[in-house]
Amino acid sequence: MAGPTEQQVREALKGVKDPDLGRDIVALDFVKEVKLCDGAVGVTIELTTPACPVKEQMKSEAEALIKKLPGVTQVDVKMTAQTVGRVGQDSDVLKGVKNVVAIGSGKGGVGKSTATANLALALAGTGAKVGILDADIYGPSIPGMLGIKARPMADEKGMAIPPEAFGIKAMSVGMLVGEDAPTIWRGPIASRILQQFLGAVNWGELDYLLLDLPPGTGDVQLTLTQSAPLNGAVIVTTPQDVALRIAKKGLKMFQQVNVPIIGVIENMAGFACPSCGTVHNIFSEGGGERAARDAGVPFLGSVPLDPQMVQGGDAGTPLVVFNPKSPGAKAFEEIAKKFAAQLSVSNIKEQSVTDRPKEVHLIDQTPPKIVWSDGKVSTFDHFQLRMACPCAACRSETTGERILKESDVPRDVKVVAANPVGRYGLNLGFSDGHASGIFTFDHLRALGIAI
């Protein structure tokens, strides 16, 4: 009996669905190759992340469906992965980095840097290429946690080459100043240093770059959301009510600037007894999961408080490497799988977003126009754009009313610069020298005339 055709194999594989995306692997273009030789069938399925938590399940389902086809004598399903990313390859900032994810917290002391380091190592354990940018300018701790003492070298273009530890590339201000030297910098200086880190580090090719943020919602966080091509953010909290309340503020900050929340990690969720391995709840239980559910965002998992976590961190060897069989390390392995899956889901959903600019022609065309991702086109008037500037010099911060007078703006004013601001707007510069206004995409869509 003759073996199946390629069309029959692909039709059969429509029965395999990605549980996170809710679509079959053929529609998602995961089936990259089908080889046929009489009754032997070879299939290559390419997933969106090497850390896919249902990889083996999907492989088994594919094998079972192909075996049911008439004439099949042998089945070989090969699972590969190509990390999905929305940014980096075509961006001047962090070129070569597929995914940039901020790891934040509302308050200090929740183990955010510990979570960042162990999550990075757990992702690397799946075969992903991972880096960490220590954005905690005032309290850098990543070098110590990874045992990095080397200073970054420079390439032929003067770009900093980040040192590596355990296969993780890392960059931190802690590598540039003395170990005990305090970083006493005002917010604007810290923000400029962070912008230099974003533009002057040669990361090479990375699947994931994790940004370890300082606690709070201040200048550094704002700089990152406006300057870095963020794919998403992860919030780290502990089970206590006070930590959860403050974590929600950090979560809402990212949502307000249109950065997707990839999920919530609950750290110090219980005490892992080093003798028996049992986890005992010291604080309240399930707070992180409830907070995630209330906010409508994914819950990535809980990590118990383990004395070896501290020992490994102090020794420059994070727990995932220090004791990979410990409850905490196992928890980070599961979190890494959920993180990778949720990030892939977020990236794919982002491809269908319709209210972002696809083309911006505010300088090079007359009349100025923006082509949106849904195909709609908006045209603008230079003078009206200038009068609509939302900055504090043009509008009252308390009432929102315009304080800029038409007589103060030249009628022949032009837009001379249009720079992207994070994922939510454009910073427009005008020929009269004014350049402090950030126009959100919603604002621009409302201002434009649809054609």
pLDDT in tens, 139-164: 788 988 999 988 888 888 888 899 99
pLDDT of residue 283: 61
pLDDT of residue 337: 92
pLDDT of residue 45: 93
pLDDT in tens, 302-357: 998 887 887 887 888 999 999 999 888 999 999 999 999 899 888 887 776 767 88
| Residue showing tokens 């059969």 | 12
pLDDT of residue 315: 85
Task: Report d(CA 433, CA 430) in Å as an integer.
Answer: 6
Query: How far does Cα 133 stand from its chain's mean position?
Result: 12
Average pLDDT, the chain: 85
DSSP state of 382: H
Confirm if 102 and 234 have CB atoms less than 8 A apart.
Answer: yes
Rg, C-alpha atoms of the chain: 25
Instruction: Give bridge partners of residue 450 from the DSSP assignment.
Output: 378
- 108 Cβ contact list (under 8 Å, min separation 6): 139, 214, 215
pLDDT of residue 89: 41
pLDDT of residue 313: 79
| Structure-block tokens of residue 415 | 């837009």
pLDDT of residue 257: 79
pLDDT of residue 20: 78
DSSP state of 367: S
pLDDT of residue 179: 59
Rounded to the nearest 5°, which phi and psi values hold at 439? Answer: -95, 115
Please enumerate, as own/partner, the contacts of 52-59 that have beta carbons within 8 Å and a separation of 24 or more. 52/81, 52/337, 52/340, 52/341, 52/344, 53/334, 53/337, 53/338, 53/340, 53/341, 54/18, 54/19, 54/341, 55/79, 58/16, 58/18, 58/25
CB-facing half-sphere around the CA of 155: CA atoms within 13 A: 11
pLDDT of residue 90: 44
pLDDT of residue 259: 86
DSSP state of 327: H
pLDDT of residue 240: 74
Domains and CATH numbers, the chain: 6-81 (3.30.300.130), 100-350 (3.40.50.300), 357-450 (3.30.2020.30)
Which pairing describes strands 369-372 and 208-212: parallel, antiparallel, or unpaired?
unpaired
pLDDT of residue 214: 82
204, 333, 343, 327: which is closest to 277 by C-alpha? 327
Which regions in the chain score pLDDT beneath 50? 87-91
| Structure-block tokens of residue 103 | 């790891």
| CB atoms inside a 10 Å sphere around CB 432 | 14
